Chain A
């Protein structure tokens, strides 16, 4: 009997790991795309919140959950474009532009939510995504049910990991992106449009961040709460560093965070006499520890944080 419970526990934990890793994977991939092109996007936390809010609002109003996902991607793209305007075209400090976008987007998300829903005593809810069970694969003992009974967005996140990896390392576009991020002067010399490449990466990255946020209101939960992102954007920034700007390693980091997040949820549910705040703290604490372990040998894209202005070449 206890063995059965253990298997149920492990299987449940695997499922929770996959779920909790999903928004981080989306956000990490989006941030990798931006940073590989040379732009640190600290707007991530705000973009995720706007994605979460927009996805929820559109799903609530239209009844179509996929329209919600699309809208979240769209709003992420717009905010990515705003980031590009500030940090790429005007060449403002990437740190400050990104934080500005996070603050602006956070305010805007709450403003629009209040405007639309007022302050109801019971938060409005939507019909969230249903989990999809993949036949046969989900029958694999122990790991099957957890891995293959998931939301469609989770499967998409997993497909995106190799896709972004191939894009970056195996295609001409990827080579352009990496060159722009490593050495914009060289990229410019060989005819790559540095500003456009950075803009497109920010826009595509913003879409991924928006969808990552929307996962939290459309699948993980069925409502929008103000603290729904809860620092997951910052965790994604940490995962980019932890993964050394590589999609596969970054996703691995996201998986570890998902595991810790899933574990703390399970442990809370078991009624252990330790404050749930201690469990909530663990993922953040271990993310910092993970950063400590990798930071000394991190290979930051050389062009990161540096605005590119043609007439100031080499300056």
Chain B
């Protein structure tokens, strides 16, 4: 009888860090061809339209960056939290909290000097998202409430808070739809490229990549946060205030997700609606894992995801494959990547007995 065993292997050389994600993406695309073919799509044609739709024209390419910016921010949010093993599955709710606070600020700051408005809106969004994440962090550290469950449930609480406000105090006067009044002009992100939606939020997201890399690699806090993630007991006995580290990690993580909400509000929708996020917070989890929790990895995986999401629109129009193929590819890519990562640490050994 032949048995298969997993055995630890020696660390792989540096080039593997590039080759493995690329290989994982290729395998994902091959596996995703199964539902595409079942849906009546043609392999090469479908993928041609997928990539053409995302990268083929100037507008589509810029649109891919527009789509990547919330994904990059939620991806960074999740990656930063997971690194400290704070299981923040609540980026979706934190994004909504950020959008909500930015709406309140963006609608009501008419009397404030114009240059101050946007910074205030951004800070409000960051803090709202951050504080919404601090609640489960405190519940985890002080009351041992499982963070996976609490952050998940708080997503639904936030959706309904938003619903109640959009049908109530925040509703646009005279409207019967659940939507807020438009934010004032000074609260809108500047558009940086003519004839596109390429906006300032994209630069904020890119800057966040650098900030998170800097915190992770160059600061004591980044070191402590990592230590808590590796072994919380050891970190505690090593003199690290683990409660404080987790709470601050949560604040930054939720704040990043909040910024994603600010971007969608101030550059895309200009008013709060119930559908402001099509699940960016959940996609952020996959993006973080796909990027191996490293900020630069997250940058590339968020770009990959936005290519898939933007391209799926064109593919769907041209081949009739439902746009939900994007979600299928996302889920598939996570599982494939996980398996690939496993085999960077382990090898299969065939044992005969």
Contact = CB atoms under 8 A, between A and B. Distances in A.
Interface stretch (A5-13, A206-214, A245-253, A279-287): A279-287
Interface residues of B, number: 50
Interface stretch (A94-102, A129-137, A139-147, A163-171): A94-102
A104 B149 contact: no
A241 B324 contact: no
A99 B160 contact: no
Given A237-B149, A284-B156, A291-B150, A100 B331 contact: yes
Interface stretch (A61-69, A85-93, A186-194, A216-224): A85-93
B221 to A, nearest CB: 24
B322 A111 contact: yes
Contacts of B156: 230-231, 234, 281, 284
B149 A292 contact: no
Interface string B157-199: 1001111100110000000000000000000000000000000
A245 B339 CA distance: 30
Contacts of A100: 286, 289, 331, 334-335, 338
Interface string A258-300: 0000000000000000010110110011011001100110100
A122 interface: no
A107 interface: yes
B330 interface: yes
B16 interface: no
Interface stretch (B139-147, B200-208, B209-217, B228-236): B139-147
A281 B144 contact: no
A104 B323 CA distance: 14
Contacts of A110: 322, 324, 327
Given A90-B339, A111-B324, A296-B143, A280 B163 contact: yes
Contacts of B123: none
Contacts of B5: 311
Nearest to A119: B322
Nearest to B85: A95
A105 B331 contact: yes
B342 interface: yes
Contacts of A115: 38-39, 322
Interface in B280-313: 282-283, 285-286, 289
A143 B76 CA distance: 52
Nearest to A227: B159
B284 to A, nearest CB: 11
B225 to A, nearest CB: 18
Interface size class of A (residues with CB under 8 A): 35 or more
A108 B335 CA distance: 14
A107 B330 contact: yes
A269 B257 CA distance: 36
Contacts of A99: 89, 285-286, 334
Interface string B250-291: 000000000000000000000000000000001101100100
Contact of B328 (A42, A95, A107, A311): A107
Main secondary structure of the interface of B (DSSP, over half): helix
Contact of B338 (A97, A230, A280): A97
A104 B6 CA distance: 26
Given A86-B338, A90-B342, A104-B334, A291 B149 contact: yes
A238 B149 contact: yes
Main secondary structure of the interface of A (DSSP, over half): helix
A90 to B, nearest CB: 6
B116 interface: no
B327 A285 contact: no
Given A96-B289, A234-B153, A103 B331 contact: yes
Interface string B51-95: 000000000000000000000000000000000000101000000
A154 interface: no
A84 interface: no
Contact of B331 (A86, A104, A237, A241): A104
A296 B145 CA distance: 7
B194 to A, nearest CB: 34
A108 B149 contact: no
A253 to B, nearest CB: 12
A164 B7 CA distance: 37
Interface string B309-353: 000000000000011111111111011001100100000000000
B153 A292 contact: no
27 contacts: A86-B338, A86-B339, A90-B6, A90-B339, A91-B6, A91-B342, A92-B342, A93-B338, A95-B87, A99-B286, A100-B286, A104-B332, A106-B331, A107-B325, A110-B324, A111-B39, A114-B323, A115-B38, A231-B155, A234-B149, A277-B163, A281-B156, A281-B157, A284-B157, A284-B160, A288-B157, A292-B145
Sorted nearest first, the 7 A-B pairs with minimum C-beta distance are A107-B327, A104-B331, A277-B163, A114-B322, A281-B160, A277-B164, A111-B324
Given A104-B330, A284-B157, 15 more contacts: A86-B335, A90-B342, A100-B289, A103-B331, A107-B326, A107-B331, A110-B322, A115-B322, A234-B152, A235-B153, A275-B163, A284-B153, A284-B160, A291-B145, A295-B143
Interface of B: 5-7, 35, 38-39, 87, 89, 139, 143-146, 148-150, 152-157, 160-164, 167-168, 282-283, 285-286, 289, 322-332, 334-335, 338-339, 342
